[in-house]
Structure 1
Amino acid sequence: MSAMFSEPNLTMAIFNTTWLSADSQTTENADTTMIDFQKNYGKVHGYISNIVCIFGVLSNILNVIVLTRRHMITPTNCILTALAIADFLTMLTYLVYATYFYIATEPKWEAHHSQGWMYFILVHNHFIITCHNMAMWFTVSLAVFRYIFVCHHVIGNRLCSLNRAILTITIIVIATIIVCIPNYFLYKVVPLRELGYNSSGYWIVDSVFVEEHDFYKVLIFWFFGVIMKVAPCILLTLLSSMIILTMHQASKRRVRLLQQTRSSDHDVNHEHNRTTWMLVSVVLFFVITEMPQGILAMISGLNDHFFEEIYSNLGDVLDLLVLLNSAVNFILYCIMSQQFRDTFKNLFVLHWMVQRQQYGKVNGHQNGISQYSTVVKTEVTML
């Protein structure tokens, strides 16, 4: 088989693809416990990841619907909308990937995969790396915007305007696509017969460019697998720490001035703090799910045996962490944002109740929610 299957650092940047090994295993020196774990978890990974992906796809659609209501359009929500779209696209293709390679078939060359499916995995890999990197930098921009608004409130409204948010999103999208171009030259699809196997299937191997330039794959691994994960996590941690410290100091000042503050101002400050805590939670959850993979990748780049024995066998688990990060935001919004909950309720729950009431009137009976009719119709119209 290709040297790709025996060399370390064969991670496709974001999502581990060590299943591309000819024998679908790590080297013979790998720890038996980790191999057994990888085998056992691999049997259920497709089902678990599908559940997470289905929930994430639906929840991110709801995120976009709620966050794009007219009264919800703000610079912060604009970035959150872009983040929801990136997460949606990440999980949409992974859903197809997991269904085929972990449920319908197996991630092994013996499954005789068709040429079309092998090209799909290449396109899926490039697409998901691009989308996930966009989501990562959307999260960083979200933290930067909130840091400026909380810690430099005087200039926050000017620097963190809606136009600047849209410009930031546009720059991230274009820059990410350009930066991810080097990934496109890593691999190619070949018939298994060219690799010495009597099979009609196809497989993925190093591209001719990689075979001629040994440093290229190592460079890509360090850039995407380590630098592009660890650096943003460190930046997000620092920004979150400064935001939390500033909020703590502001809270002390408000306590001292509480008796001189009007109740309405207190309510506004309370909702402002809840929004900030929600955004900090989004950022910190990203750090919690992304930092371990960056650290493990860094160690793997320095120690070949660690990659073979530990990192490669945790690939599916690391994938799942990324998927959880892409799916959890809807829950955080519902728990921590009163405005998001109210808008969601008005759009879906109360609107559904009005539709039921109108249906009941058509059929000549009341359904017990007439007292909500005027209020709900007004709220739905305002949205």
Structure 2
Amino acid sequence: MVTQGDVNYVRQIVQGILVPCVVVIGLLGNSVSIVVLTRKRMHSTTNIYLAALAVTDVIYLTTVLFLSMEHYDTVHLNYEIYWKVYGLVIWLSDGCAYISIYIAVCFTIERFVAIRYPLKRQTFCTDSLAKRVIAGVAIFCLLSTITTAFEHKAESVQKLMDNTGKWCDEAILPSSFVNTIQIQENIPNNESQIENSVGTFAQSWQNNNNVTTDHYNSTENHHCHNVTFYQHGSSSLSANETYIKYFFFFTSTVFVFIPLTILATFNFILIVLVRRSKHRRGEMTNASVRRSTIRKSSNSVSQENRVTVTLIAVVISFIICQLPWAIYLIVAEIIQIENNLRTIIGNIFNLLVALNAASNFFLYCVLSDKYRKTVKELIVGYKYKKRNMSTSTSYAPSTRRYRPALQMKKSNP
């Protein structure tokens, strides 16, 4: 059995430590990717898709960081606005995750067309088409999941806290329960007896609602008082079984199984095409006829293969991080999983998705020479250019100085 203590421990490690670290690294890496991929020297239709993917990942990681703050008591006590926009942020987070999936599908198909049907590249691999496809994908994903924002609402409840800032009970007490305590006629005037009475009522409410207390005992010698505790609540839409059934089927089919199937299929085809291309390039390099033409063609094919290999790596990383969610969705429909275990699985799998959103920068740096050189130029480009300019000016006068002497020598036989 998975206990609430196990859930709290996993949540503390994942949400409190790992997620913030991944988000910060991912935001920095994707910001650099946006700057690099939008430079003129990096211009290509594939990089338009990758730049859009980086922008989407930045928004997604920002929403992940925002949602991770729900586990802090300060947010529950002081920021009602956080819970009012909670549903909107979840919608934006889900929408960006789905946009990333279909952007990966789009640039995978685009790369397949560029390699398999090079003559059609001018028609299907253009900047304007790429931008229209990205805009269409974003609109479709956001509109088709907009109902997510209406599944949530802000709630305010009463919770017992002592004068040291510690919770008197782990249970969150509804306002009606606290009012019931306050109007009891048989509560004595003695402060310690009042605390004991409140603790007795709280314990009774906990037992009736199957809530355990393992954090703090309200019967200790601390004065307990009521505080307003803001939290997330479920709307009537989320309680509609028909809506939940069909929306789950729609999202799991359209945004999980279909895109993962497309990615796996086209990624396999791309791997086969790259292997064939390398084999043909090797045969062309060993030929003894028209070596200069063959060398130019071989370099062009090699550059295309490097781009394709980079995209293959991005897609493989994407599949590895997204596939556990697909498997979990299938298993959850067949086997009944307890709530605590669901929470732990959700935390871990959400961390995997965040890792995927943060990892593309490192894949580009490892697999793309052009990207790596552009990043280096972006970081140290000013000093590098300045050093080169000073070196070139030191050689230029010497060349001009000796040119007249050479001309005079030629004129005198």
Partner of 1:168: 133
Per-residue displacement from partner, 1:31-80 (whole Å, max 9, x unpaired)? 237x5543322112222111111111111111010011112121100010
Partner of 2:73: 105
| Alpha carbons 1:354, 1:373 under 8 Å: kept | no
| Alpha carbons 1:53, 1:95 under 8 Å: kept | yes
Are 1:139 and 2:104 matched, yes or no? yes
Partner of 1:340: 371
Partner of 1:274: 306
CA distance in 2, matches of 1:320, 1:301: 22
Displacement after TM superposition at 1:88 (Å): 0.4
Displacement after TM superposition at 1:285 (Å): 0.7
Q: TM-score, normalised by structure 2?
A: 0.72
Which of 279, 284, 290 in structure 1 is aligned with 2:322?
Answer: 290
Partner of 2:186: none
Per-residue displacement from partner, 1:287-311 (whole Å, max 9, x unpaired)? 11011012102221333x2253643
Which of 36, 39, 50 in structure 2 is aligned with 1:66?
Answer: 36
Change (3 A) 1:113 1:328: same
Change (3 A) 1:195 1:81: farther
Displacement after TM superposition at 1:172 (Å): 0.8
Q: Does the residue aligned with 2:380 lie in a helix, a strand or coil? A: helix
Displacement after TM superposition at 1:235 (Å): 1.1
Are 1:229 and 2:256 matched, yes or no? yes
Identity score, percent: 21
Displacement after TM superposition at 1:369 (Å): 10
Partner of 2:52: 82
Of residues 189-198 and 84-93 in structure 1, the stretch that sits farther from structure 2 once superposed is: 189-198
Are 1:242 and 2:269 matched, yes or no? yes
- Superposed, 1:317-332 pairs within 5 Å as 317-332=348-363
Q: TM-score, normalised by structure 1?
A: 0.77
CA distance in 1, matches of 2:367, 2:267: 17
| Alpha carbons 1:113, 1:203 under 8 Å: kept | no
- Ranked by relative contact order (alpha carbons within 8 Å, sequence separation 6 or more), the top structure is 1
The one-letter code sitting in structure 2 at the alignment partner of 1:345 is K
The one-letter code sitting in structure 2 at the alignment partner of 1:148 is V
Partner of 1:202: 230
Q: Does the residue aligned with 1:201 lie in a helix, a strand or coil? A: strand
Which of 127, 141, 145 in structure 1 is aligned with 2:92?
Answer: 127
- Superposed, 1:349-360 pairs within 5 Å as 349-353=380-384
| Alpha carbons 2:38, 2:51 under 8 Å: kept | yes
Displacement after TM superposition at 1:227 (Å): 4.5
Partner of 2:65: 95
Displacement after TM superposition at 1:275 (Å): 1.1
Displacement after TM superposition at 1:252 (Å): 2.1
CA distance in 2, matches of 1:133, 1:319: 14
| Alpha carbons 2:87, 2:151 under 8 Å: kept | no
| Alpha carbons 1:78, 1:162 under 8 Å: kept | yes
Displacement after TM superposition at 1:129 (Å): 1.0
Displacement after TM superposition at 1:226 (Å): 5.6
Partner of 1:253: 280
Change (3 A) 1:204 1:322: same
Per-residue displacement from partner, 1:120-145 (whole Å, max 9, x unpaired)? 42222111111111111111111111
The one-letter code sitting in structure 2 at the alignment partner of 1:122 is G
CA distance in 1, matches of 2:6, 2:143: 37
The one-letter code sitting in structure 2 at the alignment partner of 1:169 is I
Q: Which runs of 5+ in 2 are unaligned?
A: 159-173, 179-226, 395-413
CA distance in 1, matches of 2:61, 2:360: 13
Change (3 A) 1:324 1:369: farther
Aligned length: 325
Partner of 2:115: 150
Which of 199, 216, 236 in structure 1 is aligned with 2:243?
Answer: 216
Of residues 259-268 and 46-55 in structure 1, the stretch that sits farther from structure 2 once superposed is: 259-268
Which structure has the larger Rg? 2
CA distance in 1, matches of 2:351, 2:383: 34
Partner of 2:24: 54
| Alpha carbons 2:2, 2:341 under 8 Å: kept | no
The one-letter code sitting in structure 2 at the alignment partner of 1:105 is D
Change (3 A) 1:335 1:372: farther
